[in-house]
């Protein structure tokens, strides 16, 4: 039998954790032949909810679940971790300035990065879901100098999936017909969902949609989809966020083949994104590592939007630097 893979979920008592853990338990995260140790990290206020989730996981009688642990101790949670899903984050409260938000999250993601640095398995892979995800990933990575920076990623897969779904609906095709879509930049309202390299059944999407729809419907719809879900559902998206986290890790570990997706990865300077920023790019995964798809032409429409989102990432980085968080 295979050695179990240790999967740690932070904020495990929350809405996303609730959806995510069941899919990890059923084999959808790492494969239907891979046993898992599930570690649920929470803060004291979330502990009871995480305990409840753990009881329900037990009741799922999942053959692949080797163990379930609930803890408030980051060192214990990340000891030997292979897959770290950093979901718990500090939401923006009333009257909270951006620097307060970054500082509060620095107090979460700094120590978690340090605990990963000390205890994680040598193959650890980290996905940050908690917002501001890109900058939280940067903070965690800065506190884990012994872990290669490429192992810290931020989730933009939900934005990517939303963009694919909107485009498929517009064109009346199944989502599987669409390839080559890209989300660039920050997981925020400034993100740029780019269809300029997308194809549907191999045909360029740019031949099928006009720029007016793109600029005034598609891009804002995707960027503001989170708010739309809150309005309709009465609470923020959770199962779709969990589903995107599953997709991200599954593709990272298992590979994408030739198809592209989008992920927040540390920049090597590609496409003019300053080195070291965690930014969303077009990526493929092979051999357990993300690689940025190279050599794409970037037109003026795209360039301006990529630059605007990247400028926001630079601002966030400079702000956490000024706060001494990285």
Is 37 a known ligand-binding residue?
no
The answer to whether 89 contacts ligand NDP (rule: CB under 6 A) is yes
241/177 Cα distance (integer angstroms): 22
The answer to whether 69 contacts ligand NDP (rule: CB under 6 A) is no
Q: Of residues 206-265, which lie at the interface with ligand NDP (CB under 6 A)?
A: 226, 236-238, 241
The residue among 266, 316, 326 whose CA lies nearest residue 290 is: 266
Is 14 a known ligand-binding residue?
yes
| Buried/exposed code over 9-45 (b: 16+ C-beta within 10 A; e: otherwise) | bbbbbbbbbbbbbbbbbbbbbbeeeebbbbbbbbeee
The answer to whether 158 contacts ligand NDP (rule: CB under 6 A) is yes
**Cα→Cα distances 257→35, 43, 124, 163, 260, Å:** 24, 39, 22, 20, 8
Among 45, 231, 258, 287, binds ligand NDP (CB under 6 A): 45
Q: Which window, 37-45, 51-59, 94-102, 302-310, contacts ligand NDP (CB under 6 A)? A: 37-45
Question: Which residues, at least 6 apart from 193, have a Cβ–Cβ distance to it below 8 Å?
Answer: 159, 160, 162, 163, 181, 182, 183, 218, 219, 222, 223
Is 112 a known ligand-binding residue?
yes
Is 131 a known ligand-binding residue?
yes
Structure tokens at 279: 């930014």
> Among residues 264 and 282, whose Cβ is nearest to ligand NDP?
264
Number of residues that bind ligand NDP (CB under 6 A): 28
> Among residues 252 and 271, whose Cβ is nearest to ligand NDP?
252
Structure tokens at 31: 């494969």
The answer to whether 108 contacts ligand NDP (rule: CB under 6 A) is yes
Q: Is 32 designated active site?
A: no
Is 16 a known ligand-binding residue?
yes
> Among residues 224 and 321, whose Cβ is nearest to ligand NDP?
224
Orientation angle between helical segments 300-322 and 133-142, nearest 10 degrees: 50
| Residue of this chain nearest to ligand NDP (CB atom) | 14
> Among residues 218 and 271, whose Cβ is nearest to ligand NDP?
218
The answer to whether 129 contacts ligand NDP (rule: CB under 6 A) is yes
> DSSP letter at 209?
S
Is 28 a known ligand-binding residue?
no
DSSP string, 253-269: HH--TT--EEEEEE--S
Residue tagged active-site, from 32, 143, 160, 187: 187
Phi-psi map region of 92: left, alpha, beta (phi>0 left; psi -120 to 50 alpha): beta
132/188 Cα distance (integer angstroms): 8
> Among residues 89 and 181, whose Cβ is nearest to ligand NDP?
89
Question: Would you please indicate which residues are annotated as catalytic (active-site) residues?
Answer: 187
Return binding residues. 11-17, 92, 98, 105, 112, 129-131, 162
Return binding residues for NAD(+). 11-17, 105, 112, 129-131
Return binding residues for substrate. 92, 98, 131, 162
């Amino acid at each position: 039998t295979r050695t179990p893979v240790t999967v740690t979920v932070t904020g495990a008592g929350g809405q996303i954790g609730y959806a995510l853990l069941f899919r990890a338990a059923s084999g959808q995260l790492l494969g239907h032949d891979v046993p898992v140790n599930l570690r649920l990290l929470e803060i004291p206020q979330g502990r009871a909810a995480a305990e409840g989730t753990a009881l329900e996981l037990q009741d799922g009688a999942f053959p692949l679940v080797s163990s379930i642990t609930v803890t408030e101790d980051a060192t214990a949670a990340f000891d030997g971790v292979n897959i770290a899903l950093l979901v718990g984050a500090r939401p923006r409260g009333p009257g909270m300035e951006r620097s307060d938000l970054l500082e509060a999250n620095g107090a979460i993601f700094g120590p978690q990065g340090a605990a990963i640095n000390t205890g994680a398995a040598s193959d650890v892979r980290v996905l940050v879901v908690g917002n501001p995800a890109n900058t939280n990933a940067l903070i965690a990575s800065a506190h884990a100098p012994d872990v290669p920076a490429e192992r810290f990623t931020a989730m933009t897969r939900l934005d990517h999936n939303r963009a694919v779904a909107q485009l498929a609906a517009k064109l009346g095709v199944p989502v599987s017909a669409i390839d080559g879509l890209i989300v660039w930049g920050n997981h925020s309202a400034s993100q740029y969902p780019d269809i300029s390299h997308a194809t549907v059944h191999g045909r360029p999407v740019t031949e099928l949609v006009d720029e007016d729809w793109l600029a005034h419907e598609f891009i804002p719809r995707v960027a503001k989809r989170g708010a739309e879900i809150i309005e309709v559902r009465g609470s923020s998206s959770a199962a779709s966020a969990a589903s995107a986290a599953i997709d991200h890790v599954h593709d990272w570990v298992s590979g994408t083949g030739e198809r592209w997706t989008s992920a927040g990865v540390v920049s090597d300077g590609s496409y003019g994104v300053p080195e070291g920023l965690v930014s969303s790019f077009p990526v493929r995964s092979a051999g357990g590592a993300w690689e940025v798809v190279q050599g794409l032409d970037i037109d003026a429409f795209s360039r301006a939007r990529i630059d605007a989102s990247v400028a926001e990432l630079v601002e966030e980085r400079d702000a956490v630097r000024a706060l001494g968080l990285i």
